Amino acid sequence: MALGSLALITLLLLDGFANGAVGESPKHEPKHEPAPAPSQVMDGGPVLNLAGGTPHSLRTPPKTIALTFDDGPDPKWTPRLLDVLKRHDAHATFFSIGAHIAQHPEIAKRMIAEGNEIGSHTYTHVDMASAPAWRNRLELDLTQRALAGAAGVHTRLIRMPYSSVPDGLTAPEWRAAQQAGREGYLVVLTDRDTEDWQKPGVDKIVQAATASEKDGHGAIVMLHDAGGDRTETVAAVEQVIVRLQARGYRFTTVSAAMGLPKADVPATGTEKAIGWTLVSAQRSAAALTGWMQLLFVIAGVAAAVRLAVLLVFAHVHRQRARRFRPPRSLQPASGPPDPAAALSALGAPSGADAPPSVSVIVPAYNEEAGIAATVRSLLNTDYPGPLEVIVVDDGSTDATAEIVARLALPGVRLMRKPNGGKPGALNVGIAASVGEILVLVDGDTVFQRDTIRHIVAPLAADPEVGAVSGNTKVANRGGLLGRWQHLEYVIGFNLDRRMFDVARCMPTIPGAIGAFRRRTLVSVGGVPTDTLAEDTDLTMAICRAGWRVVYAEHALAWTEVPDSLRQLWRQRYRWCYGTLQAMWKHRRSLVERGTFGRRCLLYLTAFQVVLPLFAPAVDLFAVFGLFFMDPVAPITMWALFAGAQVAAGGYALWLDGERLRPLWTMPLQQVVYRQLLYLVVVQSVVTAVLGTRLRWHTIRRTGTFADGGPGHDSDLGPGSPAGIAAP
């Protein structure tokens, strides 16, 4: 991940440098003080030889025109100009930008192959008069390397950006010209500046290029082959060549016009190899930037559409839940629960109107911090039917089993087994249970008094329902990390579950709270043991078997979440890796009858695998755009998305009866917390691709429920189970 991030940053910076977004290359023509260059230079010809410290200037011979084009090559306009030159057997000199040469090496090759010559116009069109000497050397060196990689040559010619005729040279420009001369370049200015970049019209360009044509004077003519629409330039060049060739003028390169050796010098094999590397990197950087811009838009649109769809489905689910009427047999029991009576009723056949018997299975491994609160909350229920609680100690090395034994509560059975993982412990408890409905609960989870009644209600009301997901709540949400996880549970997990319920494609019943028909579990072979996300694996198997899985929003379960980034990483790494395992295991559901696989797996692939994989790169590109490009687009998109997230979060919190106060942490969550989760997905995918086996990870418990539950936290909703740990 570090190497990938470094490579991405390097390519983005290279593209930003090449386009003048990173560095000192100005976007507009600079203004310099009109302090002149030496008089012998200003009164001389347009080609300056500054070798040896003494300036020598050359003038264009009579009846000779050296057309010169700046700022290219351009993929559209440069080939059109080359076509005009070739059609009239004329040649020209192209003062090209090194970054453009690297981006379009095929055009540079064509220039040389058709008898034209290429001069340096720096790598990024930097103002050499104001740039430091080291920057100018870098610009010239990179341009030579780009030429070597693109066309296999070096050049002796240079035209400084923003320069024009000799008598227009300022003192800073003269110093830059002297530096270029010391580097071995011939500095080329111009006799006639057409100023075609201002688009004055074809006639005015032709008039400027053909000034003094009747006198037969030769000239170096400045035009442009890039930087915007060059339709006028192409048309003007055609007219100039036709008009002056008829008067006996020849059109040739600057070097040929001055009787100098060819400006193009063959590069060595090593120079070509280095140049090829630069050209390849530049083209890759440009392509990457283009793809990143597209990906940035796609990711933003996809996230916005997903958020809108989640809210629509949440509204539909709420309307359905309001119309749902649980069976009369599940009316809350009056008075305190009688565990002994509930236990004695287990195993007896249920009448038509009797509530189904329930067995609660609690797998526990090193849960001494909260197991007593969990067991007590399960017995403190208003469920009117027979109930048993089975705690399966999975080889704990702490006092988990001893605490349960000392409680000696009626209706609670303790089973011990060697450590073998949570799925194995669940299967042991299921095999020993007798209830018609099995409620599977984590050992760090606390139920409210009405939780079991709410989670059993859909099973009692609809025989097509095979399993029910409860509503998991974060208990230890006091700190910033806890608030972030609280928002994720309410906005992410539970909004998703509402959508999955309506679409009938629930992928996960959380291990903290889920209810199952016994015959549903039997039909899929019990809790699977071959993936790390046994809850997701089991839920997908139930859906594939044709059962309906629903979400009971009022069946609340309070659970303890990791209180450190290290613990959070370990937990989410196991969840994500296990989800990938389950998705791969159930991949055939994509082609099976029914819509589960095509709805669920495609959604998970898009929004829990693919989008998180690219999200870090998209965020990095947004930061790059913020500092080195037009910042309006990334700032606007981020602000709109953050506002939409906060609004959706407020709606989700309202649906769950939660306070809105934690919403202030949501913008910061997008910057910090989401990045961690994205990197977890990246690591999980890499682990899966490499075929590495991931062992079980457990998180350290802090005993959130040991002092009376989470009710002390002011951010908890009105339904928080205060006092649940009391005897």
pLDDT digits (tens, 9 = 90+) for 116-153: 999 999 999 999 999 999 999 999 999 999 999 999 99
Q: Which amino acid is at 622?
A: A
User: What are the pLDDT digits (tens) for 460-479?
Assistant: 999 999 999 999 999 988 88
Any idea which residues carry the catalytic annotation?
70, 224
Other beta carbons within 10 angstroms of residue 26's beta carbon come to: 16
- 3-state SS, residue 552: strand
Higher pLDDT, 650 or 348: 650
Convert 41-106 into a string of H (helix), E (strand) and C (coil).
HHCCCCEEECHHHCCEEECCCCCEEEEEEECCCCCCHHHHHHHHHHHCCCCEEEEECHHHHHHCHH
Pair 578, 684: CB distance under 8 Å: no
Q: What pLDDT is recorded for position 323?
A: 79
User: What are the pLDDT digits (tens) for 15-65?
Assistant: 777 776 544 444 445 565 655 777 778 888 999 998 877 888 999 999 999
CA 75 vs CA 206, 208, 290: distances in Å: 24, 26, 16
Closest CA to 684 of 591, 569, 606: 569
Closest CA to 548 of 484, 505, 518: 505
User: What are the pLDDT digits (tens) for 83-115?
Assistant: 999 999 999 999 999 999 999 999 999 999 999
User: What are the pLDDT digits (tens) for 677-693?
Assistant: 888 898 888 888 877 66
Q: What pLDDT is recorded for position 265?
A: 93
Q: Is the pLDDT of residue 71 over 50?
A: yes
| Residues 6+ positions from 649 with CB-CB distance below 8 Å | 487, 490, 491, 663, 666
Mean per-residue pLDDT over the chain, rounded = 87
Domain spanning 63-267 has what CATH number? 3.20.20.370
What is the DSSP-derived secondary structure letter of residue 166? G
- Residue 723 pLDDT class (50, 70, 90 cuts): very low
The Cα 497–Cα 495 span in angstroms is 5
- Residue 710 pLDDT class (50, 70, 90 cuts): very low
In the chain, where the domains are located: 63-267, 302-712
Query: Are domains 63-267 and 302-712 of this chain identical in fold?
Result: no
Higher pLDDT, 242 or 726: 242
Closest CA to 326 of 450, 456, 457: 457
Least confident of 56-60, 308-312, 336-340: 336-340
Q: Which amino acid is at 618?
A: V
- Residue 168 pLDDT class (50, 70, 90 cuts): confident
545: alpha, beta or left? (left if phi > 0; alpha if psi -120 to 50)? alpha
- 504-525: average pLDDT: 95
The model's pTM? 0.74
Q: May I ask the CATH architecture of the domain 302-712?
A: Alpha-Beta Complex (3.90)
User: What are the pLDDT digits (tens) for 565-595?
Assistant: 889 998 999 999 999 999 999 999 999 988 9
Compute the residue count for the chain.
727
